[in-house]
A = this chain, B = another copy of it.
């Protein structure tokens, strides 16, 4: 019926932003030493220090978000330790057991709720519960939160601050999975990268550019520099040192330049809201959660989902609620346009 397939289920279907492609070309023509001993990587470090208003941080350029999370966690998680995260966290459900592997058997202890974010009071309770039987259980090493959370909502600065205070009090490190950190930042008014991270107690950030304009570029930022040492050893042993490192940092430099990262994120976010509004007009769709980044979650029947596929629209099958109902995810990217969304809505009107 509709020939062109519209992929709207994930931002990893997107391409490379022109500015980043240009940067790759420039890097190709610039001969440098491999393994990060190059001007692009040197410059990247300066840019990040500047953007995050922190001259005392360490960075590790990566190409994989899963590895970026696992390496960051492994900087403080040992085989006999544990990290507390939300039960829906990407590290718990979608990374094939990578944190457990990188740490040689470390445990993820989860907090479940329908909010999709860790609440400070639940964290306190969890810590108390674990410490009660401390002797034979793995000790707690840290906490990991996801910004944007997996359900597309934002941790407020107050929420992070409350979590971070508990961490400090209990000697726990605080990691932030920022695969969509740029979308989170772009959707908040007047909050700086520094305020969104280390100023509220984040020890390390796994910052992703791949979903938002890069070919493959991620960055671990250690605001707590002492953590970087362990990760530097493990990055080689886990096969995540890229010989031609300049191609990662060149991407990142272009991404940060002139606020490109936030511009791309704003486009994605704006279109997500546009899509949400349009979808909410259909009786068959129930919108779930707030849309505070570039994701829209919709509750619908299996039947509705199958109809959508027949329209050659491909969202992401996110979760099953019961035998009849599903959660379906729509994700916009920096390349999404209102025209595309109108096309989606137009098609949907055929069947709904």
Contacts and interface: CB of A to CB of B under 8 A. Distances in A.
Interface of A: 7, 10, 12-16, 21, 24-25, 27-35, 63-68, 70-71, 78-80, 82, 93-98, 100-107, 129, 132-133, 135-139, 210-211, 215-216, 233-234, 236-244, 247, 314, 319-320
B63 A237 contact: no
Nearest to A68: B239
Contacts of A136: 93-96, 236
Given A21-B28, A24-B24, A239 B106 contact: no
B95 A105 contact: no
Given A80-B236, A100-B237, 7 more contacts: A80-B101, A95-B237, A96-B137, A100-B100, A100-B106, A215-B215, A216-B243
**Copy count, this protein chain:** 4
Given A32-B13, A94-B137, A240 B105 contact: no
A236 B24 contact: no
15 contacts: A15-B29, A15-B31, A35-B135, A65-B243, A67-B238, A67-B239, A67-B240, A68-B239, A79-B101, A79-B104, A96-B137, A96-B233, A100-B237, A138-B237, A215-B244
Nearest to A138: B97
A314 B24 CA distance: 24
A105 B100 contact: yes
A97 B93 contact: no
A131 B211 CA distance: 26
Contacts of A247: 16, 215-216
Contacts of A93: 133, 136-137
A242 B98 contact: no
A66 B239 contact: yes
Given A210-B244, A247-B216, A105 B7 contact: no
A237 B15 contact: no
A135 B95 CA distance: 10
B243 A12 contact: yes
Contacts of A95: 136, 236-237, 239
Contacts of A98: 236-239
Contacts of A82: 97
Closest 8 CB pairs of A and B: A67-B239, A96-B236, A15-B28, A100-B105, A104-B104, A12-B243, A101-B105, A12-B34
Contact of A16 (B15, B28, B236): B28
